[in-house]
Amino acid sequence: MEGICNISIVPMRAEPTSKSEMTSQLLFGETYSILMEEGDWVKINTHFDNYEAWINRGQSCLTDERFTDKLITVCSFPFLKLETENGAMIIPAGSTIIGDNGEFNLGNKKFNYKLTDLTQTQGIINTSKQYLTTPYLWGGKTPFGIDCSGFTQSVFKQNNCKLFRDAKQQAEQGESISFLTETIAGDLAFFDNDNGEIIHVGILLDSEHIIHASGTVRIDKIDNFGILNNETKKYSHKLRIIKRII
């Protein structure tokens, strides 16, 4: 069975219970396959990034449609307002809408939006800076709360580039860059823990500065050792690898 997110945001959880941690979020218009069901929960696999998690059955919308119309990633920051027969719906940047004529249908629901409200691709750096001061939220993917890999994924999605969901998965993409002095704006820097596991990712603004989600989305200095927090003047993350995606 196939499904589509027809509400603003749906939390995705590690286990089939509301007490389980939120590992990611479904945003409006994102599609998925249903893998299994358990009580009030369904386990899904997202089509965009092949991510598996559980969502509440009450927030699952089944569909047999194959969306062949033009798919548009919402770049309007921080949200786009859709009009429905039941009132306005706010969907966050990074969501997906179908068609570019100001209206579309999902099942028996009709959605309208103003074409003038759509924002075009801003570029990796400009898009990333829009998220500055966004609070950190484990599993988050929106301007209202975001984690480090959700931040990089959302920024790149709004610039027509697909990244996997987790930092360790993103670290397997792209071309390796040997030295910070060889980097360009938009390269991704990855950081590991004492066990060598990738635990953090950010976007390089240049060879000395990085924008990343840590507490909030912020800009800090970076050198060959890692990220130097501008406030504490201490290293917060240890540099492991640099990748060029675009």
Could you say which of 5, 47, 161, 212 is catalytic? 212
Residue 200 a catalytic site member: yes
Q: Show the tokens assigned to 99.
A: 């068609």
φ/ψ of residue 127, rounded to 5: -65, -45
Q: Could you identify the residue written with the tokens 């969901």?
A: 165
For residue 191, count other CB atoms closer than 10 A to its CB. 25
Residue 47 a catalytic site member: no
Could you say which of 5, 75, 200, 237 is catalytic? 200
Could you say which of 5, 61, 75, 148 is catalytic? 148
Residue 209 a catalytic site member: no
Question: What would the 3-class secondary structure string for the chain be?
Answer: CEEECCCCEEEEECCCCCCCCEEEEEECCCEEEEEEEECCEEEEEECCCCCEEEEEHHHCCECCCCCCCCEEECCCCCEEEEEECCEEEEEECCCEEECCCCEEEECCEEEECCHHHCCCCCCHHHHHHHCCCCEECCCCEECCEECHHHHHHHHHHCCCCCCCCCHHHHCCCCEEECCHHHCCCCCEEEEECCCCCEEEEEEECCCCEEEEEECEEEEEEECCCEEECCCCCCEEEEEEEEEECC
Residues annotated as part of the active site: 148, 200, 212
